[in-house]
Amino acid sequence: MTTRILLQTTIEPVADDWNIARFSLLSDHLAGLRGEDGAPLYSVTARDREAPPGISDPVLATIDQSDFDELWLFAVDIGNGLNAEECAAIGRFRDGGGGLLVTRDHMDLGSSVCDLGGVGRAHHFHSHNLDPDPARRAIDDPFTTAILWPNFHSGANGDYQEIAPVGAVHPLLADPDAPGGVLRFLPAHPHEGDVSAPADDPSARVIATGTSKVTGTRFAIAVAFEPQPGGAGPAVAQSTFHHFADYNWDPGTGAPSFVTEAPGRTLIENAEALRSTGHYVANLALWLAEGRRMRRSEAARLDEKLDEALELSFPASDPIAIDPIAIDSVPGE
């Protein structure tokens, strides 16, 4: 069965911004993944908002009624990208087993995700849902002075960073072709955001960290929320959408005019780092579908039990006995 993925930004299609066209390499990569039979694993829809802030987007506001299995939400807004109706629908989507990736960027960029609840609580910003650890509320990138914390400097756009697993290796980081079977590289960004596992949610944990090239500070790259049987689907809070943006995979694709930092090229020039990035994306797509698979498996199990109960309650009748004498006496025969 083909898994349906929605790649969605929280802004309208503004040309000089992080609109969905700037995630085309991600979309193409997902659409190109194939199963053992050669059939596509994923059907990908990529879109921006249709409605301005304050007016509900027709897709986001009804996503719980759609046939999408996963929502990859790129919060590229200035704090007004989601409204209450959309947040409620996204919450119901995940409650129904849907997989959810929520990612943002530095400072207050994408802070509308705070209103999501659940996975939204894993995201910390400059003015919203501050990190409970004061040590992480400090400037880490000193070069772009207009951007305040959180702004962890993992490297230039277009370069790669080496990440480290936290605790038991999560399936999202499994990589049989890497040393030790653990994925090691993701795209870098000069000012990543801040995520942590909500202390009161036992389903959530930090699974990977990066390291600042300026201060040496370790910071969380991703928080995974495990799917719950009959409950919420899997979710990931990612520190920055730049792990998925075209510009960070290949700086030759260009960036909005407000991006002023000089890019690097080590990701596209390092085959292993580029492969690692693609493998992480494939792991995400597979794992985020786990909630729907669990729901389908549970439904099939219940159907089987119902069939067994019906069989016990209403056993098949014996064949009707036919009296040959009665046949011989039928009038007209």
The mean pLDDT value for 220-224 works out to 98
Domain spanning 3-297, CATH architecture: 3-Layer(aba) Sandwich (3.40)
Cis peptide before 176 (omega within 30 of 0): no
Mean pLDDT of the residues in the chain: 92
The structure's pTM equals 0.90
Reply yes or no on whether the pLDDT at 218 is more than 80.
Answer: yes
The mean pLDDT value for 34-47 works out to 96
Contact indicator for 49, 10 with CB cutoff of 8 Å: yes
| Token pair recorded at residue 181 | 């079977």
User: 101 - beta bridge partners?
Assistant: 72, 236
pLDDT tier at 300, thresholds 50, 70, 90:
low
pLDDT tier at 229, thresholds 50, 70, 90:
confident
| The predicted structure's pLDDT at residue 291 | 86
DSSP for 194-205, please give it.
EE---TT-TTEE
pLDDT tier at 294, thresholds 50, 70, 90:
confident
Helix (H, G, I), strand (E, B) or coil at 66: coil
Helix (H, G, I), strand (E, B) or coil at 266: helix
Helix (H, G, I), strand (E, B) or coil at 252: helix
Identify which has the larger pLDDT, 322 or 160: 160
pLDDT tier at 230, thresholds 50, 70, 90:
confident
137 to 111, 156, 194, 216, 253: CA distances (angstroms): 16, 21, 9, 15, 33
Reply yes or no on whether the pLDDT at 86 is more than 90.
Answer: yes
Question: Hey, what amino acid is at 16?
Answer: D
DSSP for 106-153, please give it.
STTTTGGGGGG-GGGGGEE-SSSS--S-GGGSS----SSTT--SS-B-
234 to 71, 106, 123, 190: CA distances (angstroms): 11, 24, 16, 28
264 to 19, 105, 156: CA distances (angstroms): 22, 19, 6
Residue in the structure block whose two tokens are 């305040």: 148
pLDDT tier at 318, thresholds 50, 70, 90:
low
| The predicted structure's pLDDT at residue 220 | 98
Render pLDDT for 192-202 as a digit per residue (tens, 0 to 9).
999 999 999 99
Contact indicator for 83, 47 with CB cutoff of 8 Å: no
Reply yes or no on whether the pLDDT at 333 is more than 60.
Answer: no
Render pLDDT for 273-293 as a digit per residue (tens, 0 to 9).
999 999 999 999 999 999 888
Reply yes or no on whether the pLDDT at 76 is more than 80.
Answer: yes
Identify which has the larger pLDDT, 176 or 317: 176
The mean pLDDT value for 32-44 works out to 96
| The predicted structure's pLDDT at residue 292 | 85
Residue in the structure block whose two tokens are 């910071």: 219
| Token pair recorded at residue 283 | 């792991």
pLDDT tier at 330, thresholds 50, 70, 90:
very low
- Write down the domain spans for the chain: 3-297
| The predicted structure's pLDDT at residue 1 | 82
| The predicted structure's pLDDT at residue 306 | 60
DSSP for 171-238, please give it.
GGGB-TTSGGGB--EEE--SSB-EE---TT-TTEEEEEEEE-TTT--EEEEEEEE---TTSPPPEEEE
| The predicted structure's pLDDT at residue 132 | 94
Percent of the chain beyond pLDDT 70?
89
Q: How many CB atoms lie within 10 A of CB 306?
A: 10
| The predicted structure's pLDDT at residue 293 | 82
Identify which has the larger pLDDT, 320 or 195: 195
The mean pLDDT value for 294-316 works out to 65
